[in-house]
């Protein structure tokens, strides 16, 4: 199977990442994923793993853990979602994305397995997750880091038996699907915690923490909590790096330097360090130098990413709920100096649009509304505009991301800052456009 044939085959399955509302419990079936894996020879059991759920910072934390593992000399796989530009971004070993030839060859194996299943066919995400299991097995990875897609309890990644489970901050997201309360959402996220295991958690709101503690107690899993068992201290922040210290279970790490920006990324780093240390219990010794080097080397596109440094500076960030937008607004004001902030905003219809607008609009001098063209979940800019108060704010609507970026650049002076946010789909389209303009796109 060629790469293009593989992508066309993948696109023939239902993709819940691009849909607004559906029956979560009827659509997400672990038994179906287990059947597919069984037909494939249970490749998910071939490689030791780390499993990550949560609302905010899952991808960033996963990237940090993988970076530390790479720095320790391990061949570390990474599985994340969604992608910004290429499907291949979702699956990588070390710094290398899955190759087109490998993707095509492994997809042919998955297709054969799917053909042996009943009429209850897998989803897009289940197919791609199975492909990741096979790829990491083929590559003989020492360890793989898996980010959940939606929720955790019923997620296709939840057939693995991880060495440790990690839960990043839980906040309101997909409330029509996961639940209307933090406790309900936390229950879905905590579904990745395994019997007699170890769970590393970021600081949590009271209701979410109570659920995580209860699940850990019921499953005999030890909970290590950042903010209680692991302490961090922010030392300095600039527009190029964060400097911070972490006191973890097995050691102290003074004045760590990290290129990923924002106080929320310092929290994610503390979680990642806790996870890396905890892998000692699985027989993997990650020394202090590997942790320091890994934190310093980590990069994660589309998260407070300075894609253009000057005239004007352009920042991309995939904040897509109120809590993430709040952290983004705080980081922008904390780390960057600018004359005016021009906000390019596009959101999915199932997100907390009022919450995102409440955090982002007040810090902006101008707002350019747009929509992604690659998902049916994208909200029409005119409907977003109706929710913006005060109505006198400088707001314009555009047809697509390219139009929005072109207008923002034309509008901006050299000392202005352009921020693209609200959706990873929008960020991905903007990044593809801006990197192509530089003529050095890398997949």
Over residues 142-165, the pLDDT tens digits come to: 999 999 998 899 999 999 999 999
Domain ranges of the chain: 3-297, 305-438
Regions of the chain where pLDDT drops below 70: 19-26, 390-392, 437-443
Task: Point out which residues pair with 53 in neighbouring strands.
Answer: 167
CATH of domain 305-438: 3.90.190.20
Per-residue confidence (pLDDT) for residue 442, from 0 to 100: 37
From CA 422, how far away is CA 313, in angstroms rounded? Answer: 18
Per-residue confidence (pLDDT) for residue 311, from 0 to 100: 87
From CA 165, how far away is CA 230, in angstroms rounded? Answer: 16
- CB neighbour class for 241 (10 Å; exposed up to 12, middle 13-18, buried from 19): middle
Per-residue confidence (pLDDT) for residue 338, from 0 to 100: 95
The pLDDT tens digits for 188-205 are 999 999 999 999 999 999
Give the residue ranges of DSSP H helices in 93-161. 100-114, 124-138
From CA 170, how far away is CA 189, in angstroms rounded? Answer: 8
Q: E strands of 31-90, at which residues?
A: 49-53, 76-79
Predicted structure pTM score: 0.93
CATH topology of domain 3-297: 3.40.1190
Per-residue confidence (pLDDT) for residue 405, from 0 to 100: 97
Q: How far apart are the first and last CA of the chain?
A: 21
- For residue 425, how many other CB atoms are within 10 A of its CB? 25
CB 152 within 8 A of CB 190: yes
From CA 443, how far away is CA 433, in angstroms rounded? Answer: 13
Give the rounded distance of the alpha carbon of 342 from its chain centre: 25
**φ, ψ of residue 154 in degrees (nearest 5):** -105, 10
């Amino acid at each position: 199977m060629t790469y293009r044939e593989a992508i066309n085959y993948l696109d023939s399955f239902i993709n819940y990442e691009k849909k607004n509302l559906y029956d979560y419990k009827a659509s997400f079936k672990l038994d179906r994923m287990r059947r597919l894996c069984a037909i494939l020879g249970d490749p998910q059991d071939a490689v030791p793993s780390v499993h990550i759920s949560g609302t905010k910072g899952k991808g960033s934390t996963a990237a940090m853990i993988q970076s530390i593992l790479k720095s320790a000399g391990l061949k570390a796989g990474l599985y994340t979602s969604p992608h910004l530009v290429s499907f291949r971004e979702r699956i990588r070993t070390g710094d290398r994305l899955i190759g087109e030839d490998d993707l095509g060859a492994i997809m042919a194996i998955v297709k054969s397995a799917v053909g042996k299943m009943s009429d209850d066919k897998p989803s897009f995400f289940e197919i791609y997750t199975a492909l990741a299991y096979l790829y990491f097995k083929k590559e003989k990875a020492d360890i793989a880091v898996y980010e959940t897609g939606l929720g955790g309890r019923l997620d296709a990644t939840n057939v693995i038996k991880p060495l440790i489970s990690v839960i990043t901050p839980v906040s309101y997201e997909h409330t029509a699907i996961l639940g209307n309360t933090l406790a309900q959402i936390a229950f879905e996220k905590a579904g990745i915690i395994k019997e007699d295991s170890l769970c590393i958690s970021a600081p949590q709101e009271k209701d979410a923490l109570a659920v995580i503690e209860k699940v850990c107690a019921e499953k005999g899993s030890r909970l290590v909590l950042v903010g209680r068992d692991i302490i961090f201290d922010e030392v300095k922040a600039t527009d190029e790096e964060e400097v911070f210290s972490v006191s973890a279970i097995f050691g102290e790490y003074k004045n760590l330097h990290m290129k990923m920006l924002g106080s929320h990324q310092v929290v994610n780093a503390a979680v990642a360090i806790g996870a890396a240390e905890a892998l000692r219990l699985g027989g993997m010794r990650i020394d202090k130098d590997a942790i320091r080097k890994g934190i310093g080397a980590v990069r994660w596109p589309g998260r407070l990413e300075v894609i253009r440094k000057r005239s004007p500076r352009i920042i991309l960030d995939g904040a897509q709920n109120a809590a993430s937008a709040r952290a983004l607004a705080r980081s922008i004001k904390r780390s960057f100096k600018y004359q005016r902030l021009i906000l390019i905003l596009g959101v999915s219809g199932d997100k907390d649009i009022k919450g995102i607008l409440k955090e982002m609009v007040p810090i902006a001098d101008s707002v350019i509304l747009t929509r992604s063209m690659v998902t049916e979940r994208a909200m029409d800019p005119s409907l977003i505009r109706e929710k913006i108060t005060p109505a006198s704010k400088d707001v314009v609507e555009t047809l697509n991301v390219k139009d929005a970026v072109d207008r923002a650049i034309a509008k901006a002076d050299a000392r202005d800052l352009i921020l693209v946010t609200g959706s990873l789909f929008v960020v991905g389209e903007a990044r593809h456009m801006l990197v192509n303009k530089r003529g050095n796109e890398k997949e």
